[in-house]
A = this chain, B = another copy of it.
Amino acid sequence: MLEMNQESCCDVIHQEAIDDCTEQDLTESVVEGVSETFKALADPTRIRILYNLSKRELCVCDLAEVLGMTQSAVSHQLRYLKALRLVKNRRDGNTIYYRHDDAHTMGLLQMAIDHSSHVNEEEVDKK
């Protein structure tokens, strides 16, 4: 029994293209995984945290100082990043030091940063 297609908006559907797409379509878990990764990288604060942690280990307080943000805001973001295993930490007395923990995601970030820096330079050159 054919399902009703309630979403259809036109009669002339390119059936072959649709069949191809359906066949090659991404699994839901892959889409969710990709989305989760990019969501983590989609916020300016998290970008700056990860970028700085890619250079060196830093404690929460240092990060707050560098970013000019409250300790609480930074700590919330670190918890988020840790849940995704993008950062890890170690304790030394009262101080907790964070560092990056996911080479693949850091690679994506670095690529985007390099590209954006490059584009920005070109735009400056034009002026």
Q: Hey, which bits of chain A sit against chain B, CB under 8 A?
A: 5, 7-10, 12-14, 17-18, 20-22, 24-27, 29-35, 37-39, 41-44, 47-48, 51-52, 55-56, 58-62, 64-66, 68-71, 95, 104, 107-109, 111-113, 115-117, 119-120
A56 in contact with B17 (CB, 8 Å) = yes
Taking a contact as CB atoms closer than 8 A, the residue among B27, B64, B68, B111 that contacts A9 in the complex is B64
Query: Ordered nearest first, which 8 A-B pairs have the shortest CB separation?
Result: A9-B71, A33-B116, A38-B42, A38-B41, A10-B61, A39-B42, A21-B66, A42-B42
Taking a contact as CB atoms closer than 8 A, the residue among B26, B56, B120 that contacts A27 in the complex is B120
Residues of B within 8 A of A43 (CB): 35
How far apart are the CA atoms of A60 and B17 in the complex, in Å? 12
Residues of B within 8 A of A10 (CB): 59, 61, 71
Count the copies: 2
Residues of B within 8 A of A30 (CB): 113, 116-117, 120
Specify the chain B residue showing the minimal Cβ separation from A104.
B115
Residues of B within 8 A of A113 (CB): 26, 30, 34
B44 in contact with A31 (CB, 8 Å) = yes
How far apart are the CA atoms of A32 and B104 in the complex, in Å? 21
Residues of B within 8 A of A34 (CB): 41, 47, 109, 112-113, 116
